[in-house]
Chains A and B, each alone.
Chain A
Amino acid sequence: MVEIDPKSRFILYNLKNGIFDNKTFYNLHKRAIEVSLISTFEKLIALDNVKVTLFPHQIDTAYTVINKLKLSALLADEVGLGKTIEAGIIIKELICRCLIKKVLILVPASLTTQWQEELKIKFNEDFVRSDEFRTNDFWSREEKIIASIDTAKQPRNASIIKEINWDLIIIDEAHKLKNEETLSYQFVEKIPKKYFFMLTATPMQNNLKELYNMFSLLKPGLLGTMNQFSNKFMEDLRTAKNQEDLQNLLREVMIRNRRKSVDIKFPERIVPDPIAFKLSKEEMKLYAELEKFIRAHYSAGLSLVLMILQRVATSSTFAIANTLSRMIKSQTEKKPYKLEEGEYEEGVVELEKELKKVKFDVGWLKKLYKQAISIKENTKGIELLKYINKYLKDEKILIFTSFRKTQEYLYKKLTNTGYRCTIFNGSMNWVEKDKAIEDFKGETQIMISTEAGGEGRNLQFCHIMVNYDLPWNPMRIEQRIGRIHRLKQEHDVLIINFSSKDTIEEYILELLYKKIKLFEVVIGELDTILSNVVGTPQSFEKTVIEIIVKSKSRKEMKNRFGKLVLDVEKGKKMYEKIKKFDGKVFEKFDLSPIYKYGEKK
């Protein structure tokens, strides 16, 4: 196909009407087009505009995709090597060269914010998330979109998306498209697209048929028909034959960097036993009363609201008081409860639905509130200060809490003791956030941060983090750790947790820390493991809250947690199996980038 650029049609109009320009502007025009059409990709112009230090394998990958793989590729680096960055370079390059306008990135719901932040911070590209909008014309109106694949494939969205000619489609965690009979697969197959990338760390999950399916999405003709493919390349479902031919074919569409061939050292994670402490009598009383309240109000379809209460309970009495007072206000004034930072993670829509119909015993709420404000000091805060005084007096420390009120409390407490602290949270704009990070990099010793909007920012100059409270979604914890435990971290990373005796926090920590070994899992593996257990990582926290509210006694709760632990262990085993299989199939394959950037082809 040869197409004239629509703008060039004006030329015909001008010719027809005898409109001619002078020579200066004609020449400028010509040069302008030449500048924007630099016809070879020998130099990646995006590299000048990237705000993060890149590793050679990332540049080589982007370079090979652009020059050799015809801009349709499967990026299948092993976990932690920066697939997102590679995709980012390619996106930026194509945007810089005005080759793409409409871009759609489809990712699991838990990763949309992270993608958005990374593209903004590292590549200065503004993408919008589909969950930021509720109107339907959004898909055609916005140019650069990040959406969860589950949202996108809903019929009302899918029908619009399929009508748009996309310049670039990117699918993260593409192994989820291994089955051609699923809705997701058929949806992605039908999206009109010029360029197409899929990202996954585990292209091979169970058998070679899945591999065939994924590649058929990418390049329908590459592997022939299923029959041809199985005759030529499959010994049986799980063993490949004619490996060299297969490798050569795959090299046309796939790049896989491996940890052992890429010379990068990952820092260790050191997780000492959690700091154990006992709540004061008043705190314990409040805690027990809250638990009672939660159980009493549980009914099916009302778990997320209660989860807010249960989660602030593990943070601080100040956070509890704040949430309670706002709940009282919304109940007495009959106005919907307005969510604050930390009170929700994913699934806001669902939560808002619950909030509309929730009816609490206001008298009870008030009683709890009085109890909470009467407590002026928190044992956990005292323990934290003691620990810092004793072990971390001169170290840079990153303290995480989910809630603003707890953050305020810690800031006051630590500053009053003489520590220099910085705050980082979701209410701050880009400039304030940048400044906070600069301060922390400079003279400030401690940064107290909520989760909001921090992913993708480099804090690797600090290597100690404290989880003052824990999000129940393990992916969130992983993201916290990821802020300091990253490729360029030179020190081993120290992760400090708290465990208050006889509270739910203790169970959860036990579950995450001892059983899932959350703090030791390789970056990027967690999502897959959890998906094997509970479907999606988000439903993990729902599972947890259900255990808490449905159990009639502590003993029952313990048993139910025990079962969850078993499920998780099963999930891990399943994952190990997949990884082993994946490794086996690709073991002998060399799928590293064909071109090296800067070397002549």
Chain B
Amino acid sequence: MNELKEFVLDYFKANNAKILESRKQITIQVPKRLFTKLNCEQILNITFDKDLAEKNPDIDFIAIGSALLNKILESCEKRGLTVVKQYKGKKKFEGLEFNFRVTFESVDKKEKLISYLIDLKNKTFNDKLMKELWKVDNKKFNSLTEIEEDIKKIDKEIDNIVYQLYNITSEEIKIIEEGV
């Protein structure tokens, strides 16, 4: 559960909380703005170790499902929806990135996070949605065309917003769409 711990601590750091880590527990001094939001104590004593928590009932055990974590997740999901980032790879570019959370039905009903990346300079975008969905065992979909159409609808909606946002003319749109 190291990942979880890192995530929780990063969250508190990002929100200017003071963190003191000892062998037994992690003590967090929560800023006022935050503890009302999280509905928690001002001083938190937490651990990610279940055995430790069982021996010390005054230390809060944090795992998936615990109340504090749920509050943290909830508060995270309200911020950081979209971001502009510098990308360095084969080609450098400035990109606009955001994540969609989608539910789709395959053998098991599942949810997935789909990243969209838009290259601001070239105004082209990399729609991972389609690819990600196709990766899922697509033979087991109930109706392929149905899904395809659904994705297309979502895609179209995003396209239009992006075109509007950057004042892209219909001629330019033609070029972009042929390019994709």
| In the bound complex, CA of A1 to CA of B145 (Å) | 10
Residue in chain A with minimal CB distance to B8: A35
B113 in contact with A29 (CB, 8 Å):
no
Most chain-B CB neighbours within 10 Å: which of A2, A7, A16, A20? A2
Please tell me which one of the listed residues B7, B14, B72, B161 contacts residue A24 in the complex, with CB atoms under 8 A apart: B14
A2 in contact with B147 (CB, 8 Å):
yes
**CB of A394 within 8 A of chain B?**
no
| In the bound complex, CA of A22 to CA of B84 (Å) | 8
Q: A20-B83, A20-B84 are in contact. Are A37 and B113 (CB under 8 A)?
A: yes
- The contact string, 1 if C-beta is below 8 Å from chain B, for chain A 13-52, is 0111011111111111111111111110100011011000
B76 in contact with A2 (CB, 8 Å):
no
Q: A5-B100, A28-B14, A49-B66 are in contact. Are A19 and B161 (CB under 8 A)?
A: no
**CB of A487 within 8 A of chain B?**
no
Please tell me which one of the listed residues A28, A39, A96 contacts residue B80 in the complex, with CB atoms under 8 A apart: A28
Q: Which residues of A contact B50 (CB under 8 A)?
A: 48
Q: Which residues of B contact A70 (CB under 8 A)?
A: 107-109
Q: A2-B147, A29-B80 are in contact. Are A37 and B112 (CB under 8 A)?
A: yes
A26 in contact with B80 (CB, 8 Å):
yes
- The contact string, 1 if C-beta is below 8 Å from chain A, for chain B 9-27, is 0110010000000000000
A8 in contact with B101 (CB, 8 Å):
yes
**CB of B158 within 8 A of chain A?**
yes
**CB of B79 within 8 A of chain A?**
yes
Q: A12-B158, A46-B65, A70-B107 are in contact. Are A5 and B102 (CB under 8 A)?
A: yes
A2 in contact with B79 (CB, 8 Å):
no
B76 in contact with A4 (CB, 8 Å):
no
| In the bound complex, CA of A39 to CA of B106 (Å) | 13
B83 in contact with A4 (CB, 8 Å):
no
B63 in contact with A45 (CB, 8 Å):
yes
**CB of A137 within 8 A of chain B?**
no
**CB of B121 within 8 A of chain A?**
no
Please tell me which one of the listed residues B7, B69, B161 contacts residue A16 in the complex, with CB atoms under 8 A apart: B161
**CB of B110 within 8 A of chain A?**
yes
A3 in contact with B113 (CB, 8 Å):
no
Count of chain B residues with a beta carbon within 8 Å of a chain A beta carbon: 52
Q: In the complex, how many angstroms separate the beta carbon of A95 from the nearest chain B beta carbon?
A: 7
**CB of B81 within 8 A of chain A?**
yes
| In the bound complex, CA of A14 to CA of B116 (Å) | 14
Most chain-B CB neighbours within 10 Å: which of A22, A33, A38? A33
Q: In chain A between 532 and 579, which residues have their CB closer than 8 angstroms to a CB of chain B?
A: none
Q: Which residues of A contact B98 (CB under 8 A)?
A: 11, 14-15
A29 in contact with B165 (CB, 8 Å):
no
A3 in contact with B100 (CB, 8 Å):
no
| In the bound complex, CA of A38 to CA of B113 (Å) | 10
A25 in contact with B14 (CB, 8 Å):
yes
| In the bound complex, CA of A20 to CA of B83 (Å) | 5
| In the bound complex, CA of A312 to CA of B83 (Å) | 71
- The contact string, 1 if C-beta is below 8 Å from chain A, for chain B 53-94, is 000000000011110010011001101111111000000000
B82 in contact with A32 (CB, 8 Å):
no
Residue in chain A with minimal CB distance to B151: A2
B4 in contact with A35 (CB, 8 Å):
yes
Q: In chain B between 104 and 134, which residues have their CB closer than 8 angstroms to a CB of chain A?
A: 104-105, 107-113, 133
| In the bound complex, CA of A39 to CA of B101 (Å) | 12
Q: A1-B105, A3-B102 are in contact. Are A20 and B82 (CB under 8 A)?
A: yes
A26 in contact with B82 (CB, 8 Å):
yes
Q: Which residues of B contact A36 (CB under 8 A)?
A: 73
**CB of A247 within 8 A of chain B?**
no
Q: Which residues of A contact B109 (CB under 8 A)?
A: 70-71, 194
Q: In the complex, how many angstroms separate the beta carbon of B92 from the nearest chain A beta carbon?
A: 17
Residue in chain B with minimal CB distance to A23: B83
B100 in contact with A4 (CB, 8 Å):
yes
A3 in contact with B81 (CB, 8 Å):
no
**CB of A378 within 8 A of chain B?**
no
**CB of B162 within 8 A of chain A?**
yes
A32 in contact with B65 (CB, 8 Å):
no
Given A2-B104, A28-B80, 20 more A-B residue pairs with CB atoms under 8 Å apart are A1-B146, A4-B154, A5-B103, A8-B100, A10-B81, A15-B165, A18-B165, A19-B81, A21-B79, A21-B80, A28-B10, A28-B14, A32-B11, A33-B77, A34-B113, A35-B4, A35-B73, A39-B112, A45-B65, A97-B64
- 8 example contacts (A-B, Cβ-Cβ < 8 A) are as follows A1-B103, A15-B82, A15-B162, A25-B14, A28-B11, A32-B76, A33-B77, A48-B50
A interface residue numbers (CB < 8 A to B): 1-5, 7-8, 10-12, 14-16, 18-39, 41, 45-46, 48-49, 67, 70-71, 92, 95-97, 99, 194
What 10 pairs between A and B have smallest CB-CB spacing?
A29-B80, A32-B76, A25-B80, A96-B65, A26-B83, A5-B101, A26-B80, A45-B64, A2-B150, A21-B80
